[in-house]
Structures are given as C-alpha cells and as structure tokens.
Chain A
C-alpha cells in the first residue's frame, strides 16, 4: 500500500473515531442551570405529605376493619395458610406479611423500648421506640405500589408513616401508661409465614387508648 494511501486511511479512521465520540458525547450528557434543576427537585414527591394523607384518609378509616388479635392468633394456630390468605398483606414478594389487628389488653410491664400486654391468654409486645419496616404502610393492603416510579419514594413513605406513629401516636400513650392499665389498641404486626413464631408477637400501635 502506498504511503499516501496509508496516511489517508489513518486520517479516515481518526475522523470516524472523533465522529463516534462526538455522537456518543452529544447523546450522553446535557447541561442545565443548577438552580433550575434544584427547583424541579424541590417539587418532587413529598413523602411526608403523602404519608400524612395515607395515614388520615386510608389507614385510619380501615382501623375499624382490623382483625381481632385473639381470633387471628387462633386461626393462625389452626390453619396458618388460611389466616395468611385471608388477612395478610404485603407489597413485596416473600414470606413476610403484615396484619392489621385490634384488641384489648392489660399492661403487664413497661420497658424503655416496649410495653408488654396480656390479651386474654396471649402475651404480646407493643413497640414504642423502634418503629421501622413496612408494616404500617402495607398492613391494610391499600397501598398502591403501581403509582410509584421508584423504590426510594416507596421506602420513604414507610419511613414517614413510621415517624407519624413514633411522634404522634406513641408519646401521649407513653406519658400516662401504668402497669395494670387496660388499653384498647389497633395496630400492625409482621409475621413470617415460612417461620411462624407466635410466642414473640410485636404490634406497632396505630391507635391506642
């Protein structure tokens, strides 16, 4: 191959390379003013507002439909599958499911992070300090995950609902709870259908008197 032809081929190669890089670069990045982007970001999904609306308009009206905890535990003992089929909800796939439950019990012990209750023959724990997970969001089965476009927003709703319970539901109860008091509660609990353990039931209260 003559020297000049070789040189031409090389030039074409370089030009093609530069063309590809420019094409990819043009379709890879875009530039905006930072303050414009921040303004849009600030208008993004407000998990706190969504959670407050969900708590007031969706969860609270459903409290009246909660399952009696003693009846539910009885059903779980007799027919676990039926109990999960009928009363459990979850947005995620897996064996962990959530139940909306209600009951009346007597306080048997008050600890730093929890309150122990005796409900009929069943002893259980009311969580009062570590409120985490997706139980409050998922227990009604009315949380519509399909309206969300990303998992961060979905998780943030849980976090905000947990905050509402921790900051608004629990403090008035903890201010005057005493051993021996009778309490009427509605709350949510998490159970694992693959490893069902009814000896250590923990309920996160959503309403408690």
Chain B
C-alpha cells in the first residue's frame, strides 16, 4: 500500500511541470483570445528556442551541481564575433591581406568562441578550484567587456538574407530556430541518457566523492560540460543575432536567469544529480508561455519581473519539499 502511495507521489512530482504548464495555458487562454492562435503558437516556440538551447547546456552543468552565470555574455560575444567576421572579415594592412569569412566560417568562429569561453570556465573551476558561481560570474564580466571591445559598443547590422534564415526562416512549415533547438535537445537527451559521459554527469552531481573513487575523471567531465554549455550559448547567440539581423553588444543580458529558471522549474535539482533535459524543455516552455501571457494581458514589464521571480521561488520551494519527502 505504502509503495503504491510512494509511486503515486513520485509520478505526481514528475508531472508537476506539465500540470503547471497546462494550468498556465488554460488561464491565459481564458483571459486572452489571442493566446490560442496558430501565429502565437509559432511565436512562443520561436521565442523560447534560444532559451531552450542555453538551458540545455545549463541543465548539464546543474546536473553536476554546478552553475554557469556567463551564458548571456557568451551568447553576446559569440553572436558579435560571428557577425563581425562574416560582415567585415579581418584585415592585415601590412601584408595587404584580407581574410574573409563565409557564412559557415562566421558561424563556426562564433561557436568556437563560445566553446573556448566555456572551456576556460571549466579550467578555472577544475584546475584552479574556483567555485563555479565565482568563475562564471567573472566570465560574465569578461565576455561582456570583450563584446563591447569587439563591437566598440555599436550594433553590427546588415548581415544579409542568408544569415537571417537561421533566426527568421521556415523549413517544412516550422521556424528554423525551432528545428535547431529540437536538434540540440535530441542530441543532449542522447548524451545524458545513452552515453558514458551522461552517466558520469549524474554520478558527479549525485556524489562527487563517490564518483571520483569509482574512477571517473571528474575534471575532464566538468571541462567538457562547461565547454558544451558555452557552445550551446553560442548557438543561442547565432539565433538571436540572425533574428535581429544585428549583433547587439548588450544581447543576452539576463538570459542566464531565464535559463536557470527553466532548469529549476523543469525539476532539475540545484544540488545536482537529479533532473532531465525534457524537464528543462518544459521549464523553458513555461517561462516562454508566462512571458507571452503577461505581454498579451498587458501586464507592466515591472510586474512581469516580479511574477517570474515568484514562479522561480515557488519552483525551488516545491523542489525542496519533494527532495525532503523522498
């Protein structure tokens, strides 16, 4: 009897984000006749695509009991590097040489920059034993400063139709950013559930000492995961830059908070070892629907912040209660 009740409780706890999303949709749908429309559906999906990419990387980090506060700034720098190189290339006046970047080149350069910044986060955390919060906070500032230096504080605009396709195009009736985020999610699910490194991530988050004693190279796994988080932030940066047809020096400000919110609401424990990519996707959808609903209902942007903050707080409280019960 007790086992049945426990399994029901577990199931209910797993379904919490889904129930929350359903209730949220119903409430907003009742209050706004524009919510349940096809155009709004695609609009919400397009908007959350960036957050899904970033949050997927953040989930892997949080599953190891880490945190990455630098994703917003990494996103901005990657987008700016891609835009700058694709649009203007690099000039070497003394050699009378111009190195131009194709669309592929610009995209790869942005992703490499994101990966490198993530790699530095990982190295700072593992080799120099800097707490993840501090290391990534420092990277947040460094990457933002580098973005300002690279752009001179001005947007890099006019990137052309080919580049705009990434953020604004459609493929098989679905917006391209939705395809990209779906691909990212599928790959991340495969990584976390079907590979050795996925199991190591859960093991490190569950009990780092036990994982170390069982022979897992913890530092290597951590560096890989922070690098991946940087790469995924860069992918988000590409989508933002493409959608705006412009790399904004202040792009991605506050995205780290939306990302952490999606992870937490999706049921991933901040103390690590528990959670899933699927849950994070649900969390990102909840944040996206909440943002969309608050806008449709003409709620002041100031109140939007308050509501979002409260939702995160409630999610953490529920997570704590669940952890205690189990």
Contacts and interface: CB of A to CB of B under 8 A. Distances in A.
Interface residues of B, number: 23
B102 A27 contact: yes
Contacts of A31: 97-100
B98 A28 contact: no
B91 interface: yes
A37 B101 CA distance: 13
Contact of B91 (A30, A34, A149, A150): A34
A33 B105 contact: no
A27 B91 contact: no
B97 A150 contact: no
Contacts of B91: 34, 37
A24 interface: yes
A32 interface: yes
Interface stretch (B153-161, B221-229, B301-309): B153-161
B104 interface: yes
B158 A34 contact: no
A24 B107 CA distance: 11
Interface in B101-159: 101-102, 104-105, 108-109, 157-159
B62 to A, nearest CB: 31
Contacts of B241: none
The residue among B97, B98, B159 with the most chain A CB atoms within 10 A of its own CB is B98
Contact of A37 (B98, B102, B108): B98
B246 interface: yes
Given A33-B97, A33-B98, A34-B98, A28 B105 contact: yes
A24 B97 CA distance: 21
Interface string A26-59: 0111111111110000000000000000000000
B96 A150 contact: no
A91 to B, nearest CB: 14
A118 B98 CA distance: 58
A29 B99 contact: yes
A151 B246 contact: yes
Contacts of B95: 34
Contacts of A177: none
A35 B246 CA distance: 27
B171 interface: no
B160 A28 contact: no
Contact of B100 (A27, A30, A151, A155): A30
Nearest to A148: B158
Contacts of B245: 150-151
A3 B224 CA distance: 28
A29 B157 contact: no
Contact of A153 (B109, B158, B159, B246): B158
A118 B200 CA distance: 77
Main SS class of interface, B = mixed
Contacts of B159: 150
A16 B99 CA distance: 26
A8 interface: no
A200 interface: no
Contacts of A150: 157-160, 245
Contact of A29 (B96, B101, B158, B246): B101
Contact of B102 (A29, A33, A149, A151): A29
A92 B297 CA distance: 24
Contact of A152 (B96, B97, B157): B157
Contacts of A36: 98
B173 interface: no
Contacts of A27: 102, 104-105
A110 B95 CA distance: 57
A29 B245 CA distance: 21
Sorted nearest first, the 8 A-B pairs with minimum C-beta distance are A28-B105, A150-B158, A152-B158, A37-B98, A34-B98, A32-B98, A34-B96, A30-B100
Given A29-B101, A29-B105, A150-B245, 17 more contacts: A24-B104, A27-B104, A28-B104, A28-B105, A28-B109, A30-B100, A32-B97, A32-B98, A33-B96, A33-B97, A34-B92, A34-B97, A37-B91, A37-B100, A151-B246, A152-B157, A152-B158
15 contacts: A27-B104, A28-B102, A28-B105, A29-B105, A32-B97, A32-B98, A36-B98, A149-B160, A150-B158, A150-B159, A151-B158, A151-B245, A151-B246, A153-B158, A155-B157
Interface of B: 89, 91-93, 95-102, 104-105, 108-109, 157-161, 245-246
